[in-house]
Amino acid sequence: MGWDVKENTKIRTYHSDPNRDELYKYVAVNPKANGFDVGVKVKPDGEMELFADFYDGSIASTLGADLTKLRQQYATEVTIDELTFNGYVCNTSTDTKGNVIIEAEKA
């Protein structure tokens, strides 16, 4: 999606955001020079929490409002990885409404 990922670093966000000074396990670095980043914390059970400041619009413009595009891409990749692991060959496409279609065939 055009974003780099760094480990164990801080996020760029609004100057008074209390999350600005925390270290995040992963940080999705916004490709826009003055854009805000997305921080990822990983809980002991493996669940991930995402932290982002949507104020300037730089995150929503590429990852979607409330990270919907990012969530869709993540779900697609996890599904394809699982299918591939289980011996399927996958092809993806997108319909006119923006829905991702995954076609899987046993290899």
The neighbouring-strand residues paired with 42 are: 48
The parent domain of residue 53 ranges over 1-63
Residues 59 and 71 in one domain: no
Average pLDDT for 12-21: 87
Residues 47 and 89 in one domain: no
Instruction: Let me know: does 37 contact 12? Beta carbons within 8 Å.
Output: yes
Residues 51 and 99 in one domain: no
Instruction: Tell me the per-residue pLDDT of 62-75, one tens digit each, with 9 for 90 and over.
Output: 999 889 999 899 99
Q: Is the pLDDT of residue 15 over 90?
A: no
The model's confidence at residue 9, banded by pLDDT at 50, 70 and 90, is very high
Instruction: Let me know: does 73 contact 62? Beta carbons within 8 Å.
Output: no
d(CA 72, CA 70): 5
CB within 8 A of 98, min separation 6: which ones?
none
